[in-house]
């Protein structure tokens, strides 16, 4: 067994690998970029090495492993995990790559080659054709429309185009080829029969170097947005035991076909809710090979929770030459597990990446029912350099309904202040009737978002009444950054904003802004026993501070607790997994957006924290509403920020390469006729 393993990755997967290495008595070596020097995986590893060239610096990773005496390199997922060239470099340096042989990575990394390989092994594949052997137009006519064009070298949905008629075919092929060349440097395409509303079900396989290959059941990964998984579960609510066995056997054959060793995932497209009308119920739903991921998957914890196996430990033991300690008949699935991915993104802004400093963090404790794989620590900066996934919350129960309830409770118990996340969206999603009933397919989330867009629906997280009143009472009490306790009993009586007058107490007004929504709240009395008025609706409220970083607000006899934190003059409130930044504006403040605000004020703000990539205008330019002014990039996502109205650019001070904050002012546009 190895004495030391270097982890060529970051974030929650690096922390997770450290945990297993520690349990195995193996020294862990972390690597980090300059941006990650204080990251959690760096803190928790036994040793850490700076990579001047970043995580994709292969020479730096190899040198760090040799310098620290590591005998093996675990690539986690992403980055170098599916690089056959990196696996070979490790071998050349005398290091063990904790993953499959380079030949297996190459065979499954090319979609066309992978499809041909597994088809020869008897695994069902989607009918279609592929370049250079086939003419795509002829293949499309043979399989019929709609058809799906995909880059051979691609992944993550990039370059995929649905073609619904022969007339659309030439432009669709040209578009897919352009995207494939730009994204992957390879314009080779394949075309397949388009399966409407499919389910995405994958099989976890594990193989050793002694010829043993087993599968560990399936994971349902149909809840996706923009081809990215959001929630995964094991087992699938669709499959019965016979179909599970057939799909598992097909996945094992696919792995054997390429001489696979280690942990891998064989992904299938499965006909969803309507299959029973056209297929024999005895045969189960039809399934077809989609691709194989030659690495550990993000969603591997749900398999671990229903099998009781540590997949990272199995990876390491197999890489060290040990045989698998069990056979196929020993694998048992116990209960149900569901995983939710927590992202730094803002559902209310179209899921744009977010960022900031983690001011306060509360995560559920690990146990049999709940597991949290997280790379978060208080004080860390979530920036735009890397993938926006922050953590994974995983729940287990004896049955699926119990697992969904446990997951919802675990998400509600999570508080991340300082960074906007998708936790509220996740809670809403897992409570949807379609999800609870298991009626899933890969287009469900997008349809739900589209159906709900008019009324806010899944993505809406407005500041609720109790949070508005709580924020107003916090400002009213004098509590703030560096303001002490805010306890009126310990303050100068003349400084207490209780509205005392000879006669009736006076009202104190607070203009509160949360993500551009501005509301006026009036308060009179002490924060511990106050009267508040919101939109001419008066109520009694009381504020208490039961613990550091926490407040309790009582309204109408009902008490709710909030986590609190300050970021300069911004107050963050967190409850039930949700979090809201609140800013107090003074009347007449240039930053005050009340009474219309938004587009009417001509202020152009950044929709996400990031870096200015392109500046398309200058002060003095006359622009039209909707005309792009600045392009902001974060987490490999570009967003074009446009002029809110017709007029003249009176201010545009940002420059290319400049870091900008969420809602930071990029430019100002004065309407025509308003300037002299």
Q: Which of 390-399, 435-444, 459-468 has the lowest mean pLDDT?
A: 459-468
- Of 589 and 658, the structure prediction assigns the larger pLDDT to 658
Dihedral Cα 59, 60, 62, 68, nearest 10 deg: 160
Mean pLDDT to the nearest integer, 608-624: 87
Dihedral Cα 290, 293, 296, 302, nearest 10 deg: 0
| Residue 603 binned pLDDT confidence (cut-offs 50, 70, 90) | confident
- Contacting residues for 253 by C-beta, under 8 A, at least 6 apart: 118, 121, 122, 123
- Contacting residues for 31 by C-beta, under 8 A, at least 6 apart: 6, 7, 8, 48, 49, 50, 51, 55, 60, 61, 64
Cα separation, 394 vs 366, whole angstroms: 9
3-state secondary structure of 334: coil
Other beta carbons within 10 Å of 200: 23
Res 275: pLDDT:
45
Q: Is the pLDDT of residue 202 over 70?
A: yes
Dihedral Cα 14, 18, 20, 21, nearest 10 deg: 130
- Of 629 and 73, the structure prediction assigns the larger pLDDT to 73
Q: Is the pLDDT of residue 674 over 60?
A: no
Mind listing the pLDDT tens digit for each residue in 283-302?
Answer: 567 899 999 999 999 999 99
345-346/262-270 β-pairing: unpaired
Mean pLDDT to the nearest integer, 129-151: 91
DSSP 518-580: EEEEEEEEETTEEEEEETTEEEEEEEEEEETTEEEEEETTEEEEEEEEEETTEEEEEETTEEE
Cα separation, 159 vs 179, whole angstroms: 5
Q: Structure pTM?
A: 0.85
Q: Which of 135-139, 213-217, 599-603, 662-666 has the lowest mean pLDDT?
A: 599-603
Mean pLDDT to the nearest integer, 108-117: 89
Single out the residue of 633, 632, 634 nearest to residue 384, CA to CA.
634
Q: Is the pLDDT of residue 644 over 60?
A: yes
Single out the residue of 242, 249, 222, 246 nearest to residue 233, CA to CA.
222
Q: Is the pLDDT of residue 276 over 60?
A: no
**Max CA pair span of the chain:** 92
- Of 151 and 305, the structure prediction assigns the larger pLDDT to 305
Q: Is the pLDDT of residue 581 over 70?
A: yes
Res 231: pLDDT:
98
Res 47: pLDDT:
98
Cα separation, 236 vs 469, whole angstroms: 44
Mean pLDDT to the nearest integer, 623-651: 85
Label residue 144 left, alpha or beta by phi (over 0 means left) and psi (-120 to 50 means alpha): left
Mind listing the pLDDT tens digit for each residue in 480-527?
Answer: 654 433 343 344 545 555 555 555 678 999 999 888 788 999 999 999
- 362: β partners: 415
| Residue 610 binned pLDDT confidence (cut-offs 50, 70, 90) | confident
Cα separation, 332 vs 330, whole angstroms: 6
Other beta carbons within 10 Å of 569: 10
Res 277: pLDDT:
40
Could you tell me what percent of the chain has a pLDDT over 70? 89
Res 596: pLDDT:
40
Res 544: pLDDT:
95
Res 485: pLDDT:
35
| Residue 545 binned pLDDT confidence (cut-offs 50, 70, 90) | very high
Map out the domains of the chain with their CATH numbers: 4-98 (3.40.50.20), 127-193 (3.30.1490.20), 199-330+345-358+396-459 (3.30.470.20), 465-585 (3.30.700.30), 598-671 (2.40.50.100)
Q: Is the pLDDT of residue 179 over 90?
A: no
Mean pLDDT to the nearest integer, 567-584: 93
| b/e sequence 216-247, b meaning 16+ C-beta within 10 Å | bbbbbbbbbbeeebbbbbbbbbbbeeebbeeb
3-state secondary structure of 484: coil
Res 662: pLDDT:
73
- Of 348 and 389, the structure prediction assigns the larger pLDDT to 389
| Residue 155 binned pLDDT confidence (cut-offs 50, 70, 90) | low
When mean pLDDT is compared over 270-274, 332-336, 668-672, the highest value belongs to 332-336
Single out the residue of 628, 634, 638 nearest to residue 666, CA to CA.
628
- Average pLDDT value over all residues in the chain: 88
Res 501: pLDDT:
55
3-state secondary structure of 642: strand
Res 597: pLDDT:
42
φ and ψ of 211, to 5 deg = 90, 5
- 582: β partners: 571
Mean pLDDT to the nearest integer, 552-557: 94
Q: Is the pLDDT of residue 457 over 90?
A: no
């Amino acid at each position: 067994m190895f004495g030391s393993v270097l982890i060529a990755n970051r974030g929650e997967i690096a922390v997770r690998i450290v945990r297993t290495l520690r349990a195995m008595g193996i020294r862990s070596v972390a690597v980090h970029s300059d941006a990650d020097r204080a990251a959690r995986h760096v803190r928790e590893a036994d040793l850490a090495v700076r990579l001047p060239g970043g995580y994709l610096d292969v020479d730096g990773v190899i040198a760090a492993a040799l310098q620290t005496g590591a005998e093996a390199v675990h690539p986690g997922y992403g980055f170098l995990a599916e690089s056959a060239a990196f696996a070979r470099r490790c071998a050349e340096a005398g290091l063990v790559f904790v993953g499959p042989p380079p030949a297996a990575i190459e065979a499954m990394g090319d979609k066309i080659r992978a499809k041909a390989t597994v088809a020869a092994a008897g695994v069902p594949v989607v009918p279609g054709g592929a370049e250079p052997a086939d003419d795509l137009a002829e293949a499309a006519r043979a399989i019929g429309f709609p058809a799906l064009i995909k880059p051979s070298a691609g992944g993550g949905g990039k370059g995929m185009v649905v073609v619904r008629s022969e007339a659309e075919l030439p432009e669709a092929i040209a578009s897919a080829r352009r995207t494939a060349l730009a994204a992957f440097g390879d314009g080779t395409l394949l075309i397949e029969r388009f399966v409407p509303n499919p389910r995405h079900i994958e099989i976890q396989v594990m193989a050793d170097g002694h010829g043993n290959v087993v599968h560990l059941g399936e994971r349902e990964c149909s809840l996706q947005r923009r081809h990215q998984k959001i929630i995964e579960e094991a087992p699938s609510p669709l499959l019965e035991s016979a179909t599970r066995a057939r799909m598992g056997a097909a996945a094992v054959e696919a792995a054997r076909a390429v001489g696979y060793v280690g942990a891998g995932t064989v992904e299938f497209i499965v006909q969803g809710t309507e299959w029973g009308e056209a297929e024999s119920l005895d045969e189960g739903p039809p399934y077809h090979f989609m691709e194989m991921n030659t690495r550990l998957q993000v969603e591997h914890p749900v398999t671990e929770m229903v099998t009781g196996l540590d997949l990272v430990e199995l990876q390491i033991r197999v890489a060290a030459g040990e045989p698998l300690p069990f056979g196929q008949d020993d694998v048992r699935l116990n209960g149900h597990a569901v995983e939710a991915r927590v992202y730094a993104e803002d559902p209310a802004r179209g899921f744009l990446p977010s960022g900031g400093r983690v001011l306060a963090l509360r995560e559920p404790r690990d146990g049999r029912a709940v597991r949290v794989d997280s790379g978060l620590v208080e004080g860390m900066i979530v920036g735009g350099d890397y993938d926006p996934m922050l953590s994974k919350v995983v729940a287990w129960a004896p049955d699926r309904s119990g697992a969904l309830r446990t997951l919802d409770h675990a998400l509600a118990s999570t508080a991340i202040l300082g960074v906007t996340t998708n936790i509220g969206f996740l809670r809403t999603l897992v409570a949807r009737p379609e999800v609870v009933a298991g009626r899933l397919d890969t287009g469900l989330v997008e349809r739900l978002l589209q159906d709900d867009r008019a009324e806010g629906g899944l993505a809406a997280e407005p500041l609720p009444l109790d949070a508005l009143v709580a924020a107003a009472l916090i400002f009213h009490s004098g509590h703030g950054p560096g303001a002490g306790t805010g306890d009126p009993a310990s303050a100068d009586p003349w400084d207490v904003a209780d509205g005392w007058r000879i006669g009736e107490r006076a009202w104190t007004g607070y203009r509160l802004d949360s993500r551009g929504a501005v509301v006026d709240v009036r308060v009179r009395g002490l924060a511990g026993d106050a009267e508040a008025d919101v939109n001419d609706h008066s109520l009694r409220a009381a504020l208490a501070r039961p613990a550091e970083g926490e407040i309790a607000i009582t309204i109408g006899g009902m008490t709710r607790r909030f986590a609190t934190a300050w970021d300069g003059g911004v107050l963050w409130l967190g409850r039930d997994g949700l979090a809201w930044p609140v800013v107090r504006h003074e009347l007449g403040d240039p930053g005050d957006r009340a009474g219309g605000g938004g587009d009417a004020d001509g202020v152009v703000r950044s929709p996400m924290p990031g870096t200015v990539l392109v500046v398309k205008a200058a002060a003095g330019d006359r622009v039209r509403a909707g005309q792009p002014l600045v392009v902001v990039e974060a987490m490999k996502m570009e967003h074009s920020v446009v002029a809110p109205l017709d007029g003249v650019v009176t201010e545009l001070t940002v420059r290319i390469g400049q870091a900008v904050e969420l809602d930071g002012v990029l430019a100002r546009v004065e309407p025509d006729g308003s300037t002299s």
